[in-house]
Amino acid sequence: MNTIRLDGCSLTRSDVVAVARGASVQLDAGALKAVQRSADFLIEQVSRQEPIYGVSTGFGSNADRLLGAHRLRGDQAGAAPLHEELQENLITSHAVCVGEPFPIDVVRAMLVIRINTLMRGHSGVRVSTLQAYAAMLNAGVVPVVPRLGSVGASGDLAPLSHLAIVLLGAGEAFFEGQRMSGAEALKRAGLSPIRLSYKEGLALNNGTAQMLATAVLCAERLDRLVDLADRCAAMTVDAFAGRVRAFDPHVHALRPHPGQVASAARLRELLAGSTLADIPYHLVPRAKSWLPSSWPNAHLAELRFDISWEWVPADQRHGRERFYERFRPFKGGKKHQPQDSYSLRCAPQVHGAVRDALAQLQRVIDVELNAVTDNPLIFPDLEGAKNIEDQVVSAGHFHGMPIALAMSYVKAAIPVLASISERRLNKLVDPATNDGLPAFLIGNEDATDSGYMIVQYTAAAIVNDLASRAHPATVYSIPTSANAEDHVSMGANEGRHVLDMSGDLAKVLALELATAAQALDFRRDMINAARQLARESDLATFVSKISNAPPEAHPQRAQFLAEADALRAELASAPEFAPGREVASLHAALRERIAFMAKDRALDGDVAAAVAFVDEWLLA
């Protein structure tokens, strides 16, 4: 794995993801000089008996209490100095999270973010403390951090205390796949516990690392998921033999939201080379239940569907003459209308809005990754400083609202993306809306098969669950610390929700992908079967696929035969019909895991394979 250099100023989202997945870190020597300068400044000020919040005072509602020179109950043998006890008590008393532990990648992301912000040299930690943190990360010691306990201001106090407590030889950690005490994990890794000095406890647990870590990992996952949503939509468009002019660049130039423009461009790329999209209406047959007599041709005898068209008689074309000059007078699977439903036609607008929400989160993350988020802030070399209050400033950079609100935006976007995906899936399985595909995407010649019907139920259940969880946590501030912290962000809950919800979004997209692949096989095979029939059969055999052919003595019989022969000739001369090149590639990759379903089979394995396919694709 790569080694990521940390200097407090240049950490990127991709760096965090790399460390989360196992990369090591290296501390920049130049940045460590600023770190040491800040620590030396604190020692100097303490020696002058300057009152400094969190150094010579208590924390939070105890900020008005100054540390004395000795213990009121008298010095206890072997007891740490008060300033050390203050910092260590801060960590040990604040490590109170509950629930299941965060995954290892989230905790590693938290560690690298915390180390990087302390590298800026405005927090007062010693070089040796940061080196101990980096050594713990590089050795693979991963603190156990339960999921619940942060209100997002003063930063992620409780979860960051679970990170720091392992440095002290306490708490719990994972090491080499096992959960054990922090002391044992350090011992097995060849590391020793440390003692904290001035302000170090406050520096280690006062910041936004948990919510930021979840935001980074979620943003990385969502970036891939939005692209996957475009791919799913493209496959569904091909399965519908849909219309692509709604994705044209000159169309989106009139409403140039960046995400919308990007999604439209991506859909054009994915559908490039498709001979299914924008196919003339009359070439698309409608599925019909298979019978033993359906296909006299040897090449088509194994098909599990039949096809049909309906002829439009001349006396039913009044007012539509111009239309039938362009299209032959046959109705098959495609409705005679110039636009697809919203879930197809508006994919750029919906997917693009999600892209824009994600872009806002990414912008906030990029600022936050190299920001200083603890308190107070130390400016040892500030020009024009007149007193200690100018150089040690209590501010509010620990407040997580910038991240929290950006994640609220994304949180609302996730069920939107899942919902439009489920609507496309539903259109594919519903015979009233799937433009001539078999009901529930199964031949069902014996009336015993349900096909993909219940897959849509699962997608609907997940979408409903996502919508129920989309309410922003940020709007519910609950004061803490005896009202000293009277407005908090709840950004940690927001980040945890968003990270979990992104996993469920992936499942919905996996279900659409599997369903669209089944539909695409049917659509391609139905049209190519019509093409093959036209090439191999005489007109009488071809006419048998037209459900309302006029009888021999009918006055419009000759016109019908001429028009049917023209349809047959057009199909016979057409090249083989296929989806877009990138859609075909994705379809082929999925088909390596999930075979086309000709008859009902246990679908749980297929669903699990589709979800695994998406999960692996997200990590590729």
pLDDT tens track for 432-463: 999 999 999 999 999 999 999 999 999 999 99
Task: Quote the number of domains for the chain.
Answer: 2
Distances (CA, A) of 219 to 83, 146, 151, 468: 40, 22, 21, 21
Q: What angle do CA 382, 384, 389 make, to 5 degrees?
A: 70
Burial of 12 (0-12, 13-18, 19+ CB in 10 A): middle
Are 54 and 139 in a shared domain?
yes
Describe the crossing of helices 104-118 and 209-239 by its angle, rounded to 10 degrees: 130
385 falls within a domain = no
Whole domain around residue 584: which residue ranges? 219-359+406-619
309 close to 570: Cβ distance less than 8 angstroms:
no
573 falls within a domain = yes
Are 148 and 293 in a shared domain?
no
Are 181 and 233 in a shared domain?
no
Displacement of CA 501 from its chain's centroid (Å): 8
DSSP at 2 = -
Pairing of strands 310-311, 392-393: unpaired
Element (H, E) at 267: helix 258-271
Distances (CA, A) of 45 to 49, 99, 389, 404, 449: 6, 41, 11, 35, 79
390 falls within a domain = no
614 falls within a domain = yes
Are 306 and 203 in a shared domain?
no
Are 223 and 203 in a shared domain?
no
pLDDT band at 78 (very low <50, low <70, confident <90, very high): low
Report CA dihedral (281, 238, 417, 618) to the nearest 10 degrees: 180
State both tokens at 21: 């997945």
- Higher per-residue confidence, 155 vs 512: 512
Among 223, 228, 233, 227, CA closest to 580: 233
What pLDDT sits at residue 49?
78
Q: Is the pLDDT of residue 258 over 70?
A: yes
Report CA dihedral (106, 110, 112, 115) to the nearest 10 degrees: -170
Are 341 and 473 in a shared domain?
yes
What pLDDT sits at residue 130?
97
175 close to 225: Cβ distance less than 8 angstroms:
no
What pLDDT sits at residue 79?
64
What pLDDT sits at residue 455?
97
- Per-residue model confidence as pLDDT tens digits over 9-52: 999 999 999 999 999 999 999 999 999 999 999 888 888 777 77
What pLDDT sits at residue 52?
79
Q: How far apart are CA 227 and CA 266, in angstroms?
A: 8
State both tokens at 269: 């790329």
φ/ψ region of 576 (left if φ > 0, alpha if ψ in -120 to 50, else beta) reads beta
213 falls within a domain = no
Are 421 and 448 in a shared domain?
yes
Displacement of CA 362 from its chain's centroid (Å): 13
Rg (CA), the chain: 32
Among 95, 120, 541, CA closest to 293: 541
pLDDT band at 335 (very low <50, low <70, confident <90, very high): confident
User: Going by C-beta distance under 8 Å and a sequence separation of 6 or more, which residues neighbour residue 216?
Assistant: 13, 16, 17, 20, 109, 113, 365, 369
DSSP string computed for 492-537: HHHHHHHHHHHHHHHHHHHHHHHHHHHHHHHHHHHHHHHHHHHHHS
Give the domain-ending residue among 207, 229, 259: 207
Give the SS3 label for residue 272: coil
Q: Is the pLDDT of residue 74 over 80?
A: no
Q: How far apart are CA 381 and CA 40, in angstroms?
A: 12
Active site residues: 53
Are 543 and 506 in a shared domain?
yes
Q: Where are the beta strands (DSSP E) in 231-381?
A: 286-288, 306-308, 310-311, 330-331, 377-378
46 close to 83: Cβ distance less than 8 angstroms:
yes
Among 575, 582, 494, CA closest to 535: 575
387 falls within a domain = no
Are 237 and 160 in a shared domain?
no
Are 44 and 97 in a shared domain?
yes
State both tokens at 226: 């939005």
388 falls within a domain = no
Give the domain-ending residue among 207, 230, 260: 207
- Per-residue model confidence as pLDDT tens digits over 145-197: 999 999 998 889 999 999 999 999 999 999 999 999 999 999 999 999 999 99
Give per-residue burial for 67-77: e unless 16+ CB within 10 Å, then b. Answer: beeeeeeeeee
614 close to 228: Cβ distance less than 8 angstroms:
yes
Q: How far apart are CA 140 and CA 186, in angstroms?
A: 10
Are 182 and 279 in a shared domain?
no
CATH number of the domain to which 300 belongs: 1.20.200.10
Distances (CA, A) of 339 to 195, 242, 273, 321, 330: 69, 8, 20, 20, 18
pLDDT band at 55 (very low <50, low <70, confident <90, very high): confident
Q: How many CB atoms lie within 10 A of CB 559?
A: 15
Give the domain-ending residue among 207, 238, 263: 207
Q: How many CB atoms lie within 10 A of CB 280?
A: 14
What pLDDT sits at residue 230?
98
Q: How far apart are CA 88 and CA 90, in angstroms?
A: 5
162 close to 492: Cβ distance less than 8 angstroms:
no
Longest dimension (CA), the chain: 118
pLDDT band at 468 (very low <50, low <70, confident <90, very high): very high
315 falls within a domain = yes
Are 277 and 165 in a shared domain?
no
CATH number of the domain to which 156 belongs: 1.10.275.10
- Per-residue model confidence as pLDDT tens digits over 289-317: 999 989 887 778 888 899 999 999 999 99
Q: How far apart are CA 476 and CA 409, in angstroms?
A: 15
Displacement of CA 117 from its chain's centroid (Å): 26
Q: How far apart are CA 370 and CA 115, in angstroms?
A: 10
Displacement of CA 256 from its chain's centroid (Å): 24
What pLDDT sits at residue 336?
83
Give per-residue burial for 256-272: e unless 16+ CB within 10 Å, then b. Answer: eeebbbbbbebbbebbe
Kindly state the percentage of the chain with pLDDT values over 90. Answer: 82
Q: How far apart are CA 374 and CA 377, in angstroms?
A: 7
